[in-house]
Structures are given as structure tokens and as C-alpha cells.
Amino acid sequence: MNSLQTETRHIRPYVHYHCGCPDVNNPTTSIESEKEEETFNIYSPGIHFSTFPISKLYFCDDCHQIRCPRCVQEEIVCYYCPNCLFEVPTASVKSERNRCARNCFQCPICQNTLSVVASSEPQPTPLPISPTVPTVSATGAPYYLSCGVCRWDSQEIGMTFEKATGLALQLQKTEDERPDVKEFDHLKDQFEKHLRHNTPSTTLPSSLLSIPGMSMNSFSSRYGNTGLAHAQQKSDDVEKYEAAVDKVEPESGLVDDLVHLTDVNQITTLTQRMNQLSDQPYKVERLQPQRIHLRTKRVKRCRSCRHILIKPEQKAQATRFKIKLVALKNIPKITIASLPKLILNQRTQIVLKFSNPLYEEISVDLTIQEETNECGKVTILAPHFNITPYNEVLEYEEDLISSRRAAKADIGIYEKRGNSTSIIFEITPLAEVEEFKFPLLVKYTNKNTENNENDGVTTEEKSSEETNSSKAVASDEISADESNEITKSLSFWTVIGLGNVIKAPAGTSGTTVKGPRTEPSGSKGSSSRGSSSGNRSGTSNSKS
Amino acid sequence: MPKDHAITIGKRAVVCQDIELKGEIQIGPGGPIIIGQNNIVEENVTIINKLPTALTIGDDNVFEVGCYVEGSKIGSKNIIEAKARILSGTSLGNNCVVGAVCSTKKDEIILDNTVIYGDHHNRRIQTASANQISSLHTRHLDYLREVLPKFNHIRVVGAPESQEIVPISRKAIKQTASH
């Protein structure tokens, strides 16, 4: 099942956007970015780390650049519990060990959220007609935790609670008694004393300090070692450590139990053990419910200009964003609109749909590196086209728009409707590969008038002609026209993956040309999927 | 309500409108599918008996939305969660829970108190005392019995005091074999 999933993920079509990450990469190479762009290699092993689906990308307004998760800086806004949505103040996050200190626990068996249940004993003879009156049991405390998924409950391990609130606090007492916890606290005390003594006064950015565990002491001890600190450390050695607890006894008879194991369910799974890091027990009975991990909300900044790209609301309950500069709202979105099966040596037409999220008309230039790469031949029938601006009102009158546009459709343009234009690509696979992919350089130009808030659609329509003529503007360059208009352009690489190529079914000749808008050849040849991997390795060998 | 001759609907049963009942079905005692008292059968549940022998379903079971039951015997106080599947020949004990989208194996005997859960169809035996399980289960049934009629078309047949109901909804029971 698992291998099948990975296989399908491998051949699923996608459109990924490349982010050059100018701030992450060496500045000397970014000077020759022009050269680098020309040799954009989609087969380099690093391609998976620099290309992303558009949903993961941000867009910096000031730099006028795409920003990927690698080239943003994150700062923590608040900590909260995902279950009870309680905001934990930064000061107490560390002391609460990054977990919810209230009522939220996860099941030790299946890691789902546990719920607090009042224990009740039924009446001696439960009548099916009348609902039983819940009565507090005489033995033990009245509350326990229960899992709705695997039906585990904390009474199994003898864990009950006096009150239904503040469960973590009630547990704290018993937890503090455990020898391993005691020993750890003792160790911590010993070294904290020492570290505080030796800390040179370094100032750290507050954003780093907000990370729990990244206190002044630990940071300086790890990275900020000055010569002075070294000298001090020599003079003041760590005093001899004496264990608080003699020995933490191991689980008795564990080896014997493991040897005589007959049922898998008798020992804990790896996930269960990893969720209880402090002792990682093998016996199911020793599993304890764990407090739920806290989550964070983060601000994301552009690394080069420090402007905020993402800023969530402070409150944990609010899901809105104060600032949200995502790529989806700023650069043309490319989707694969039609993708028939790719058959070896057969020319196939695919349709890519370009949508314009901006309120201005944009003109798009498409370039491919080379017509023929190791996968096959790619031809763009319409390398230059315009996309009409996004308009909320027109979203509802889409049919009207498309009928008007259809009259003056150009060659290679499949369809124009609303704020999108669909373009036909011709693909001729020349090798039987697992994944047919090709790089595509997208360059778009839009016109910003000075007062761009009051800008209507009509002026944009009017100026579209001029936009067409000013295509030759170099990328990432802002030039002012004679009128109050600013032309902005941006170019970026995309990788378009189209899934696997299959062999032509026997009988059909390789030179068959498929006309546009014929039925997808899905029914024809679905035979040779298995052999494709072997063939691919062959081609890559011949390449290298 | 279908007025087919082969179908006998026993006392104290509540059957929804728009129900599709095929073959010889008796709701109440006797017949190839025998459903006991106090069961709750939700929407789109399929209960099929392809075997010549009778499929006996005990009391106080809940069959949640869209589950598929083709066992040989179902005990009492079981919960078959949404889209769960009980494959042919399986015999289910008492107090079992078949989790959402989980399924049993074919011709399996599932012991009492078994819980099947998670995407790997893990199993465990619930250890809570029988009293506790049954009291919780009774409360669960009471709640469902109260809530379900609010969202389903239910026509009460028989005397009003017949409060224990078998609310059977659309397309609930199919029976293909008619031996």
C-alpha cells in the first residue's frame, strides 16, 4: 500500500515554481544570475529544494520577488494549545515544557486527544428502557481520561482525578516523584548554576530568546564563545556531580518478556515509545498519557528587506491574517487544464491555464530553454499573450466574457475567460520516462499607475496595447513611462511535470499526430508502466 | 412503508420512510436476518446475508452511517462505526467496536470487547469493566434514540409505549440470498 502511494505521488502532474533564494545563495553567484538562469537545470539534485508549489510561496512587495520557505525569517508570535486554544505566555512556555498545562492529553496508544469522563457505575440491574442514573463510584476518584478512538482509558493504569479541571497539575505531583524526573531536575540545577556563573554578557536578538531552550546561557555556551569565556571556564571548573537518585531501575524481567513474546500487541510500537521520550517503555502498561504539544503562530519576514510577509492575528482563536502576502495573490497561477496520456513519439497537445490574480492586465512571455530536452520536444504555440485583470464582479458573469473573447482567439490560445488565458503546448515525448518534465521561463509585465487604488478596469484595457510594446523591459527592473505609469516585470522559472510516458500500443505507428481537442487517449495503452523505470535509468546513464 | 407480503415488521420497530427492503426480511424474530431488540441502524447501512444460514444480530447494537455488515453472527452492544465493514463469515462478539473505515478479515471470530481502530486496523481489547461499558453504551444509545428522530423521517407503528425502536433509514437492509 505504501509503495503504491509513493509511486502515484511520483507520477502525479505538477507545476512547481523556482525560487532563486538570492539571500541564501552566495552573493557572488547572484551577480551572474542571468547566466545562471540560462543554465537552469531541472535534473540537478537540488531542484527539489528550490522549487515549490505556488501555495507554499510568498511574494515580497518591496523586493518584487518570490520568496520561498527557505528565504523567509520566522518569528514566533504566540504559543497556544491546539486543543483548548489557550494562549500560553512566552515566559511560562519553558517551565511548562512546551506542552499544554491544563486539561489536554493525547492517548498513549493511538495519539488522539483524550477526553475527561466522569466515571459512573450503573444500577445493579440496568433496565434497557430507562436511562441509567450515573452515580459516582465509591472506589477511586470520579474522573478519568478516555480515548474515543481506541477506547483506552486511564483507569487501566490506575490514573484517576479528583477534579475535572487542571488535570496536568494533579498529575504533576506524582510525576515529580519519579526517580528519572528527579535525577533530571537535579542535573539541571547543577549545570544551570554553573552556566549562569560563566555567562558573558552577550546580547541576543529577542526573536532568538523567545525560542524555549535558546536562553542566553545555552546560546553563548554553544556559539558565542569568546576568549574571555574560555579563560573563565578554565578557572572555574564544574564541581563534582553527585547523583540524587542512586540508580533508576530498569524494567524488571524485560528481556525474558521480550524473548517469550507471542503477540505484537504486548509491546509498544515505535510511535508510542517515541511519544514518551523520558523512559520509552516496552510494556504497554507503562505508557502514560502525554500532555499535548504546544503550537506556534509565526510572523514571516523577507530576508533581504525585513518587511513582513505573513502576520497572523495574535489570538489563538482567530484564523485571520493581518498581513498575508502570498504568491497566489501576486503572480500568475499556472494550472494544467488538460493532459491527455503521453505516448512515446506521439505529438500531444496539453493545455496550461494562466490565471491573473492582479487588478491590472498583464502580458506574459514564455520561453523554454531548448526545444528538445532528454524527455522530448516541447513547442509553445503562443509564447506571448495577455491576461485580463481579475475582477470580482466579472467572476459571476464568466459566460458572457468568454463568449466575447472567443471571437478573437489567436493561434495557440485555447481559451480566454475571466482573468485567465489557456495556452496550448505541443509535447512529443522521445524517451519513455517515468516523469516527463520541462522547465519554463515565465516573464510577466504589468502596469502600475501611480494612483493604483483608483484604477479602473477601463484604463487598463486601454493601456494594454502599450504593455504589449514594452515587453523588452529587463526582468526585475522598474521603468517609468512618459505617462504616470510604472511597468513592473518579473521573470521566474517553473518546472512542469506531466507524469509518465507510455509506449505506443502495438499497431499504431510512432508518427501518429494527434489533432487538437481529440478525445484523451486514456483507453489506448496503459500497458507498459512497469518497464518505464528501467528505461529511465538507461537514459540517465547514457547522459552522464 | 412497503407492504410486501414477505416482509414482516415486528412489534416495537420503527422503520423510516423511503426504505428499500428486498427479499424475505423479518424485522423481529425469525428469518435469514434476525435483528434483535433495541438496535439502531442509521442511514445507508447495508446488512447483507449471503449465507443460507441465518444472520443473527443481538441486542443494543449501533450501526452507524454507511457501514456494511455481512457477518455470520453479531453479538450484543457492539458499535459499528461509520463506513466500517464486517466481511463475510465474520462473527462478532459482544461489546466490540469496529472503528470508522476499519474492516475485519473474512471468516474471522472477533472476541468480546475487541476494538478495531486507526488506519492500520489495529486491535486491542478494552479493559474497562463490563458494568462501565454497558452503562456508557446505554447512555449512548439513549442519546442517539433521542437525536436521530429529529433528523430522520420516522413513523411510529404500534402502541405509543413502544419506546425501544429500530430506526431503520433509507436503503438500510438488503438481503440477497433467499434460501
| C-beta atoms of B97 and A153 within 8 A | no
Gyration radius (Cα) of chain A, Å: 32
Q: Give the range of the structural domain holding residue A418, as residue numbers without chain letter.
A: 2-56+332-451+458-543
ipTM: 0.74
- Across the interface, which of B99, B135, B164 has its CB nearest the CB of A149? B99
Q: Is the pLDDT of residue A196 over 70?
A: yes
Torsion region of A370: left, alpha or beta (phi above 0 gives left; psi -120 to 50 gives alpha): beta
Over chain B, what is the mean pLDDT? 75
Least confident of A148-162, A175-189, A246-260: A246-260
Q: What is the CATH number of the domain that holds B144?
A: 2.160.10.10
**Per-residue pLDDT, A4:** 43
Q: Is residue B170 part of a domain?
A: no
Q: Which of B26, B30, B29, B77 is nearest to B47 (CA)?
A: B26
pLDDT reading at A234 higher than 80: no
- CA B150 to chain centroid, in Å, comes to 20
Question: Does residue A127 lie in a domain region?
Answer: no
Contact B128 A151 (CB under 8 A): yes
Judged against a pLDDT cut of 50, whether residue A387 lies above it is answered with yes
Integer Rg of chain B from CA: 15
Asked if the structure places residue A211 within a domain, the reply is no
Size of interface A-B (CB pairs under 8 A): 60
Structural domain count of chain A: 1
What are the angstrom distances between the C-alpha of A306 and each of A299, A312, A495?
11, 16, 28
Compute the distance between CA of residue B93 and CA of residue B75 in angstroms, rounded to an integer.
Answer: 5
Q: Which amino acid is at A147?
A: C
CA distance A53 to chain B (A): 28
Q: Which residues pair with A362 in a beta bridge?
A: A387, A446
Q: Are A52 and A17 in contact (CB under 8 A)?
A: yes
For B146, the domain range is 8-156
**Is A201 within the bounds of a domain?**
no
Among chain A, residues having any CB pair with chain B shorter than 8 Å are 109-110, 119-122, 126, 128-129, 131-132, 134, 149-153, 155-156, 265
Which chain B residues have any C-beta within 8 angstroms of a chain A C-beta? 37-38, 59-60, 97, 99, 115, 117-118, 122-124, 126-128, 131-132, 134-136, 138-139, 142, 163-164
Residue A102, SS3?
A: coil
pLDDT tens digits, one per residue of A74-98: 999 999 999 999 999 998 998 888 9
Q: What is the mean pLDDT of residues A433-442?
A: 88
Identify whether B15 is part of a domain: yes
Contact B142 A134 (CB under 8 A): no
- Candidate from A278-287, A359-368, A400-409, B96-105 with smallest mean pLDDT: A400-409
At residue A158, the pLDDT reads: 84
For residue A338, is pLDDT > 60?
yes
B149-174 burial, b at 16+ Cβ within 10 Å, e below that, comes to eeebebeeeeeeeeebbbbbbebbbb
Of residues A103 and A447, more confidence is placed in A103
Orientation of helix A179-198 relative to helix A227-235, angle to 10°? 120
Distance from CA of A199 to the nearest CA of B (A): 49
Task: Please list every residue in chain B whose beta carbon sits closer than 8 Å to the beta carbon of residue A119.
Answer: 132
The domain tally of chain B equals: 1
* Residue B164 within a domain: no
